[in-house]
Amino acid sequence: MKTLVVYSSKTGFARKYAGMIAQAVDGQLMPLKDVNSFIMSRYQNVVFGGGLYASSISGLKKAKKDFHESNAQNFVVFACGATPNEAVGTIDAMWKKNLNSTELSSMPHFYMQGGLAYEDMGKMDRFLMTMVANIKGKKNADGVNPMKLSQDNTSIDFIKPLVDYVNSL
C-alpha cells in the first residue's frame, strides 16, 4: 500500500470519512494516536483528517510534525465539521486559521460536511455547543434549531475530490 489514511476524531465523523477514503484509495487506516513519523515513512502518501473544534482541526499539529519528520512524499489534509459545504467564507477562514500561507498554497486540503453527535460529546463540549446553538442557531421552517440536534450529514460524494487527487499521485 502506498497511502496511509490517519484520523483524529472525537465524535466519529472524521473516522467515518477516513474509513471511506482508505477504502476508496486502497489505503491503510490508522488513528493518529497510533501513528508516528516512523510509521508514516513506510508510505508514499499520508492523508490526515480531523474534526473541527472551535475552528481548529483536531490533531493537525501532531500530524504535520510527524509527516515533516518522515520520509513520506505527499501530505493531504481534510477537515470535517457541522458547517455546511456551501459556507465557503466560513470554511476559508477555518483553513486560514489552521494552515499558514505557504501550506495554504502547497498543501492539498479538503473540507467535508460531517455533523453533530451530542451523544458522543463530553459534558464540556455539549455545554459549549448548546451555548453556540443558543447564540448563533437559527430556527428552520419547522421552528427547530438544527444546531441543537444530533445529525449525520456525511456523504460518500463529499470524498470524491480528495480521492481523485490521491489517486492521481
Question: How far is it, in rounded angstroms, from Cα 24 to Cα 31?
Answer: 17
Lowest mean pLDDT segment, chosen from 28-42, 124-138, 151-165: 124-138
Question: Binning pLDDT at 50, 70 and 90, where does residue 145 land?
Answer: very low
Mean pLDDT calculated for residue range 105-125: 78
Query: DSSP string of 51-99?
Result: EEETTEETTHHHHHHHHHTS---EEEEEEEESS-TT-HHHHHHHHHHHS
Contact between 98 and 48 (Cβ < 8 Å): no
Q: Tell me 100's DSSP state.
A: -
- The set of residues, in sequence order, having a beta carbon less than 8 Å from that of 120 and lying 6+ positions away, is 10, 11, 12
- Looking at residue 73, its pLDDT comes to 97
35-60 confidence digits (pLDDT tens): 999 999 999 999 999 998 778 899 99
Is pLDDT at 113 greater than 60 in this prediction? yes
Question: How far is it, in rounded angstroms, from Cα 169 to Cα 166?
Answer: 5
In terms of Cα–Cα distance, which of 62, 80, 61, 93 is closest to 9? 80
Tell me phi and psi for residue 74, to 5 degrees: -125, 140
Question: How far is it, in rounded angstroms, from Cα 69 to Cα 48?
Answer: 15
Q: Are strands 109-113 and 28-31 parallel, antiparallel or unpaired?
A: unpaired
